[in-house]
Structure 1
Amino acid sequence: MIPNDIKKSLEKECNRTILAQPPPNNTNGKVYCPAVFDGLSCFNYTLASEKAYVQCPSFVEGFDSTLKGFKQCMEDGKWYISPYNNSWTNYTGCISFVDLQHDRARIRIFTVGYALSVACLVIALIIFFYFKQLQCDRVTVHKNLFTSYILTGLAWIAYYNAVSICPEVLSQNPVWCRLLHILTQYFTASNYFWMLCEGLFLHTLIVFAFVSVKKLLAACCILGWLVPLALTIIYGLSRQISTSHDSKKNCWVHDHAIQWIISGPALFSIILNLIFLCNIVRVLVTKIRALNDTNAEQYKKAARATLILIPLLGLHYFIIPFKPKNDSPLLHVYLFTGAIITSTQGFFVTLIYCFLNGEVIACLKRKYYQRQVMKGRFNHTQVNITEAASAVTTPNVELIQSPGRKDVDEVKVCMLRDE
């Protein structure tokens, strides 16, 4: 997005120098395109069927000021109009090769990270749906969160590879790329709100004595799917009817103040999750102290559970909250680090809450040994011993389903069952 003060200064200079000049004398029958300011550059009167070249603007991120862009003057004395815009300047030649290489490398990281996350999330969902032992209300929230991660990952993979690295698409600004942008905003917002639902659900079960779990799940579904939908509709309409030229071009790939319609509530959800997390730890420590438990190991487990909750609740975004300036040598470090953290979050969430979960491992072991018995490789005695050992080391999921049981064991299970 170009600052308004820069645009006004450029437009004023263009009006003073080129636009104030009289048009060429066309008594010789020659046709000219009119002088025009396109929002970035000033173009002089240009002979029909010729191109008007300008130096690429240095204030546009990703542009190389040593290169040139152009406008095409058509045979009828009118500037070229793309199928999607009223007028079009070809700035595709302005893109810095070095920056383009960095952008493509970053998009490859996003693509690989999101693909890895989506694959792991799909496997985790299959496990959650397949094993009846894992069916509980909190896992239902997990399923919705994982689904939002999958949809977000697929949407961003499509957007990055079909729009972000395609200068022609960005310049032409077709309707489908803007619709894809809106779709990515919806799934991303939904992902944030399902993170909030995870914190809200766990916080409610721990802090409040009696809770209607069905009503809580219904509220989470509204908060996780419908609220982001309403915000996205408002965002899309606001951006479409905006009078700002910058907010409507380049497939909406550049940030705009209207983006706060989505970003503001998402940021608020992260802050709420931080509050939930602190209060969960407070309640946990209070209940441990109420039993006069002086064993430091309990506090270590509580601290470990807190750290485990961080990636699920989206608080990792506080690690890199400030973007360095464009000329800072740390900018690329920031961008690549952000790409890795953002795209692989789904992978780490499934790793912690599914693949390394003791209960899931126990279910997979039991299924494995049952299949081995069917093939005649183990006897039933060996399988029963293995299942008994798994049952002893696996927390009881149903403890968190009883709102009236608010003893310290329930709280610890709610915090530590995903270790």
Structure 2
Amino acid sequence: MERSINITAFILLMFLKLLKLEMTSGKVLEETYRKWVQYKDDCVRMIKYEPLPQVGLFCNRTFDRYACWPDTPAGFMVNISCPFYLPWFDKVSKGVVRRRCGFDGLWEREDNGQVWRDMSQCKEEKEVTSQELWFKQLLVSFRTLYTVGYSSSLATLTIALSILLSFRKLRCTRNYIHANLFVSFIFRAVAVIIKDTMVDRHWGREIIKQDDVSEMLSHQAAIGCRIAQAAMQYSVLANHYWFFGEAIYLYSVLISSVLIENKKYLPYLCLGWGTPLLFVVPWVVVKILKENKECWAVNENMNYWWIIRFPILFASLINFVIFLKILGVIFSKLRANNQSRYPDYKLRLAKATLTLIPLIGIHEVIFIFATDEQTTGILRYVKVFFTLFISSFQGLLVAVLYCYANKEVQTELKRKFGSWRTELQIACCGP
């Protein structure tokens, strides 16, 4: 669709500008976005308040997310100046972008159905290189990457959760913690998918008539994606703190003896589901009071973002410390050849958690000093890639390690399938 191509091209140009200019401030994209919002707001006001033509057939005023088009008489070509938000506007300030209004009063379209537009004079005066095409594919790949990751995680986690809750013999504190971790991952995957859908719905419309303007500017239009944004932040925090609970439980099993009895399951619930509320609620309040714009997807004041960032980094650092502590204990016990006090299930639990704790913590620890404000160029893309890859596919890995590869679960599934097979044979063939 035209608007999807437009916005993809727009983001691509911003990213390329970041790389080619090697801006040390890392603010080109943010500044361009701010100017784009200003341009959009000016266009929206024009669409809403400019008087309509009195006579004649004309094409309606519109904003196609790239340029602002006025009412144009049928059969005429309209030329408007290149949008001022372009990072290279100083080079194309005298250029124009064009559209043609057909004799039927509709914007002229190409053979593929897209509205025709000539923006050649507004492009940066550089040839399209293979590197630019590669970055365009990279942007599409990022979106596809985490969509596939979250979708596959959602499917595998849903099945894994139903397995843990279906067998009575699998019901214990350890598996209850696993189940809540699964739920947090499911919640996170659903929240991300819904958030993307809501943001696309809010931003991905072409403004044609005045009713579109009123709808887009109304709080009702943005409230859905704001709720989805808050739900996603809550699910991310819950995800990290249920991993925190997993780390504490493993530490309790292998090293100390606290918080492992069934009667102490409540503290894990408070930690996993209650702690995120202590940070998400203030963040929502700050957003409403200070940055109540669009879908809350842009952090103009990064200090507010630390309300969400700090608890995530804190949990990741503690997980990493516990990981190192447990690793040292296991190595010392193995060297002493004294595993009698550590049943097989504890070692399996340790192996699974030791695999997961680095994934949830190390990438956060590595980029703890490479914040969003400081990362530019290749480092920014590396950070985005690893964050998206690990976050989206982590649920799949959790389901495999804590459920499908769990020998207790495999034993119960084999026993259940054997029972079903026996019952089926009896029903079909008789005793």
Structures share fold, TM-score greater than 0.5? yes
Q: 1:340 to 1:37 in 2, by over 3 A?
A: closer
Which of 40, 45, 55 aligns to 2:83? It is 55
Q: Which amino acid aligns with 1:120?
A: T
Question: Following TM superposition, by how much is the alpha carbon of 1:69 offset from its aligned partner in structure 2, in angstroms?
Answer: 12
- Residue number among 298, 317, 322 corresponding to 1:276 in the alignment: 322
Residue aligning to 2:405: 356
Q: Which amino acid in 1 is paired with 2:281?
A: I
State the distance in 1 between where 2:170 and 2:271 align: 24
Written as runs of structure 1 = structure 2, the 5 A alignment for 1:63-142 is 103-142=139-178
The alignment partner of 1:282 has SS state of helix
Identity %: 28
How does the TM-score come out when normalised to structure 2? 0.60
Maintained 8 Å contact 1:311/1:349:
no
What is the SS of the residue equivalent to 2:425? coil
The one-letter code matched in structure 2 to 1:155 is A
Q: Could you give the per-residue CA deviations for residues 246-295 of structure 1, whole angstroms, max 9, x where no partner exists?
A: x33331112342111111101100100011111112232344455568xx
How far apart, in 2, do the equivalents of 1:369 and 1:353 lie?
Answer: 23
Does residue 231 of structure 2 align to residue 183 of structure 1?
A: yes
Among residues 384, 394, 397, which one is paired with 1:345 in the alignment?
Answer: 394
Change (3 A) 1:166 1:56: farther
Letter in 2 for 1:248: N
SS of the aligned residue for 1:250 comes to coil
Give 1:31's aligned residue.
none
**1:402 aligned residue:** none
- The answer to whether the 8 Å contact 1:56/1:69 transfers is no
Give deviations 1:307-360, integer Å, cap 9, x for gaps.
Answer: 424367544544666479887356555534432222111001111111111221
Alpha-carbon deviation of 1:128?
0.3
1:208 to 256, 273, 283: 256
Q: What's 1:310 paired with? A: 357
Residue 372 of structure 1 and its aligned partner are, at CA, apart by 1.9
Higher relative contact order (CA 8 A, sep 6+): 2
Paired with 1:234 and 1:112, the residues of 2 have a C-alpha distance of 32
Q: What are structure 2's unaligned runs of at least 5 residues?
A: 1-24, 52-68, 71-79, 98-121, 125-131, 207-215, 427-431
Query: 2:415 pairs with 359, 366, 373, which one?
Result: 366
8 Å contact 1:120–1:347 — kept in the other structure? yes
- CA distances 1:78-98 after superposition (whole Å, capped 9, x unpaired): xxxxxxxxxxxxxxxx99997
Query: The residue matched to 2:377 in structure 1 has which SS?
Result: coil
Relative distance call for 1:340 and 1:302 in structure 2 (3 A) is closer
Q: In 2, are the aligned partners of 1:148 and 1:190 still within 8 Å (CA)?
A: yes
Determine if the alignment matches structure 1 residue 229 to structure 2 residue 277. Answer: yes
Q: 1:304 to 1:137 in 2, by over 3 A?
A: closer
Whole-Å separation in 2 of the counterparts to 1:196 and 1:237: 26
Distance in 1, Cα, partners of 2:269 & 2:123:
43
Out of 244, 260, 265, the residue aligned to residue 311 of structure 2 is 265
Amino acid at match of 1:269: A
C-alpha displacement of 1:162: 2.6
Which whole-Å CA distance do the structure 1 matches of 2:154 and 2:92 have between them? 41
Is the alpha carbon distance of 1:330 and 1:235 closer, same or farther for their aligned partners in structure 2, counting shifts above 3 Å?
A: closer
Contact between 2:316 and 2:360, CA under 8 Å: does it hold in 1?
yes
Report the Cα distance in structure 2 between the residues aligned to 1:114 and 1:5, rounded to whole angstroms.
30
Counterpart Cα distance in 2 of 1:65 and 1:262: 40
Tell me if structure 1 keeps the 8 A contact 2:188–2:232.
yes
Sort the Cα spacing of 1:178 and 1:228 in 2 relative to 1 into closer, same or farther, 3 A.
Answer: same
TM-aligned CA deviation for residue 226 of structure 1: 1.3
Indicate the larger mover: 102-111 or 149-158: 102-111
Q: Which residue of 1 aligns with 2:128?
A: none
In the alignment, residue 55 of structure 1 is paired with which amino acid?
P
TM-score, L = length of structure 1: 0.61
What's the CA shift string for 1:210-264, capped at 9, x where partnerless? 556245421111111111112111000011111xxxx333311123421111111
Kindly provide the amino acid, as one letter, of the partner of residue 197 in structure 2: N
Aligned CA distance change for structure 1 residues 228 and 287 (closer, same or farther; 3 Å): same
Residue 298 of structure 2 aligns to a residue whose secondary structure is coil
Q: Is this contact kept in 2: 1:203–1:276, CA < 8 A? A: yes
Between the aligned partners of 1:5 and 1:120, the Cα distance in structure 2 is: 39
1:51-85 C-alpha deviation (Å, 9 max, x unpaired): 6966342469xx99969999xxxxxxxxxxxxxxx
Alignment of 1:141-180 (within 5 A): 141-164=177-200, 167-168=203-204, 172=217, 174-180=222-228
1:359-398 alignment, distance < 5 Å: 359-376=408-425
Cα distance in 2 for partners of 1:69, 1:139 equals 63
CA RMSD of aligned residues (A): 4.7
Task: State the distance in 2 between where 1:5 and 1:37 align.
Answer: 14
1:151 positional shift: 0.6
Is contact 2:317-2:365 (8 Å) kept? no
